[in-house]
C-alpha cells in the first residue's frame, strides 16, 4: 500500500523559513506561487524576457524577476517551465546560482529521470506534483481543500529533503487531500506510459478506429461521432466516480454483456504485448531521446501528425456538431 501524508505530517514552518523561486507562471506555476504566498511563504516568480504571463503575475500581487535573479535570491527553486526547455533554463539561469544546501524542485520527473538535468551533489532534489491541472489546484486551495499530490526525493543532500517536500506540498494544499510518496523514476515512467498507452494515445486511437469502422461501413459521421467520441465522457465520468462497477451499474445489461465479451477482442494479448514494448522504450530512455530530438529539431513530424488529425472526418464532424450543444463549450 502507498504511504500517505496529511497536514499533521507536514511542518509548514519549514517552507515558511525558506525563500522560494517559482520559475514559470503557467498552469502549475501560478497555482504554486499564489498558494505558497497565501500560506505565508516568501515567493518570487522567475520569468523570461517577453513573458506573456508576467503582467498577470504582477496583477496578482507577486514580485516577478528574471529566472537568474529568482534563482540567486532563493534557496528553494521550483522549475515549472515546459519540460522540453527545462534543461536549457537550468543551465543558463539556475545552475550558476545554486549553492550547497539549496533545493531544486520539480513538478514532473522527466529531466532528472532521463539525465537532461544533473544537479550538483550538495543540493536537495525533490518533486511535488499535484494530480490535477493548475487551475484546479488553485481553486481547491482557495476553497480550503486540496488536490492530492505525489512527492519524491531524488537526492537528499541535507537529510531533510522529504520533510521540505511535504512542507511545500502543504503550502499548496496538497496535504489537505493527501500526499503519496513516490520516486522520480516511478512518477516519470508511469506518467509517460499512462498518457501514451491509455489516456491520450490509447483513447484517441480507440475513438478514431471506432469512428472509421462505422463511417467506412456507410453509417453517417454525425451518428458515429456521438457513439464513439461524445458519449465517452459519460462513461469516463462514471468510472471516475465509482470505477468499473459504477459504470456497469449505470449502463444497460446489453451494454454490460457487450463490454465483457467484446472488450477483450479489441484490447487483445497483442495489444498488451505492444504496451510492454512501449513501457520498455520509456524505461530505457529511447522515447525521451526521440522526443527531445523531435522538439529541438523543430517539431516537423509533430506538426504533421497534428495537421493530419485536424483534417480527419472525426474532427471536422465534431466541430460542426458541437455548435448544436451550447453547454459543451460553456463547460470548457
Binding-site sequence positions for Mg(2+): 191, 195, 227, 231
User: Per residue in 23-47, is it b (16+ CB within 10 Å) or e — as a string?
Assistant: bbbebbbbbbbbbbbbbebbbbbbb
As measured in angstroms, the least distance from the Cβ of 129 to ligand NDP is 5
Residue 129 DSSP code = E
Give the C-alpha separation, 261 to 253, whole Å.
12
Q: Which helix (H) or strand (E) holds 138?
A: helix 134-142
Give the C-alpha separation, 172 to 141, whole Å.
7
53 binds ligand NDP (CB under 6 A): yes
Q: Binder to ligand NDP among 76, 129, 150, 165 (CB under 6 A)?
A: 129
For residues 131 and 168, the answer to whether their CB atoms sit within 8 Å is no
Catalytic annotation, pick one of 32, 108, 296, 312: 108
Nearer to ligand NDP, 24 or 173 (CB): 24
Q: What are the counts of helices (DSSP H) followed by strands (DSSP E) for the chain?
A: 19, 9
Q: Binder to ligand NDP among 83, 102, 154, 187 (CB under 6 A)?
A: 83
Among residues 66, 74, 62, 69, the alpha carbon closest in space to that of 103 is found at: 74
Mark residues 258-287: x for contact with ligand NDP by CB under 6 A, - for none.
Answer: ------------------------------
47 binds ligand NDP (CB under 6 A): yes
Cell numbers 451518428 correspond to 223
126 binds ligand NDP (CB under 6 A): no
187 binds ligand NDP (CB under 6 A): no
Q: Binder to ligand NDP among 89, 98, 104, 151 (CB under 6 A)?
A: 89
Binding site for Mg ion (CB under 5 A): 191, 195
Q: Which residues contact 85 (CB under 8 A, 6 or more apart)?
A: none
| Region binding ligand NDP by CB under 6 A among candidate stretches 44-52, 259-267, 307-315, 321-329 | 44-52
As measured in angstroms, the least distance from the Cβ of 214 to ligand NDP is 33
Give the C-alpha separation, 226 to 207, whole Å.
11
Q: Binder to ligand NDP among 10, 14, 15, 23 (CB under 6 A)?
A: 23
Strand partners, 155: 125
For residues 153 and 107, the answer to whether their CB atoms sit within 8 Å is no
Q: What are phi and psi of 300, to 5 degrees?
A: -65, -55
Q: Binder to ligand NDP among 9, 18, 26, 246 (CB under 6 A)?
A: 26
Is 108 considered catalytic here? yes
107 binds ligand NDP (CB under 6 A): yes
Which residues of this chain interact with ligand NDP, rule CB under 6 A? Answer: 23-29, 47-48, 51-53, 67, 80-83, 85, 89, 107-108, 129-130, 133-134
Positions annotated as catalytic residues are: 108
Amino acid at each position: 500500500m502507498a504511504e500517505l501524508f496529511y497536514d499533521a505530517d507536514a511542518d509548514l514552518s519549514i517552507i515558511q523559513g525558506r525563500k522560494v523561486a517559482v520559475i514559470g507562471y503557467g498552469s502549475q506555476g501560478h497555482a504554486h506561487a499564489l498558494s505558497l504566498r497565501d500560506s505565508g511563504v516568501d515567493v518570487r516568480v522567475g520569468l523570461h524576457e517577453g513573458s506573456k504571463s508576467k503582467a498577470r503575475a504582477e496583477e496578482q500581487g507577486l514580485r516577478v524577476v528574471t529566472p537568474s535573479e529568482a534563482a540567486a535570491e532563493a534557496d528553494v527553486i521550483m522549475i515549472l517551465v515546459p519540460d522540453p526547455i527545462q534543461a536549457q533554463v537550468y543551465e543558463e539561469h539556475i545552475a550558476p546560482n545554486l549553492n550547497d544546501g539549496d533545493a531544486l524542485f520539480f513538478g514532473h520527473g522527466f529531466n532528472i529521470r532521463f539525465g537532461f538535468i544533473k544537479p550538483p551533489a550538495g543540493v536537495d532534489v525533490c518533486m511535488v506534483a499535484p494530480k490535477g491541472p493548475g487551475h484546479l489546484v488553485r481553486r481547491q486551495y482557495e476553497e480550503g481543500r486540496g488536490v492530492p499530490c505525489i512527492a519524491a526525493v531524488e537526492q537528499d543532500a541535507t537529510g531533510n529533503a522529504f520533510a521540505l517536500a511535504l512542507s511545500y506540498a502543504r503550502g499548496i494544499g496538497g496535504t489537505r487531500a493527501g500526499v503519496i510518496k513516490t520516486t522520480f523514476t516511478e512518477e516519470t515512467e508511469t506518467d509517460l506510459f499512462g498518457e501514451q498507452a491509455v489516456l491520450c494515445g490509447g483513447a484517441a486511437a480507440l475513438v478514431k478506429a471506432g469512428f472509421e469502422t462505422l463511417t467506412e461501413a456507410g453509417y453517417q459521421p454525425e451518428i458515429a461521432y456521438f457513439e464513439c467520441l461524445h458519449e465517452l465522457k459519460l462513461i469516463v465520468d462514471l468510472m471516475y466516480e465509482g470505477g468499473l462497477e459504477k459504470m456497469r451499474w449505470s449502463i444497460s445489461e446489453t451494454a454490460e454483456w457487450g463490454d465483457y465479451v467484446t472488450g477483450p477482442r479489441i484490447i487483445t494479448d497483442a495489444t498488451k504485448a505492444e504496451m510492454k514494448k512501449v513501457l520498455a522504450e520509456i524505461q530505457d530512455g529511447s522515447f525521451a531521446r526521440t522526443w527531445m530530438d523531435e522538439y529541438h529539431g523543430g517539431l516537423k513530424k509533430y506538426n504533421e501528425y497534428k495537421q493530419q488529425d485536424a483534417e480527419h472526418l472525426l474532427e471536422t464532424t465534431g466541430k460542426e456538431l458541437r455548435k448544436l450543444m451550447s453547454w459543451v463549450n460553456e463547460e470548457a
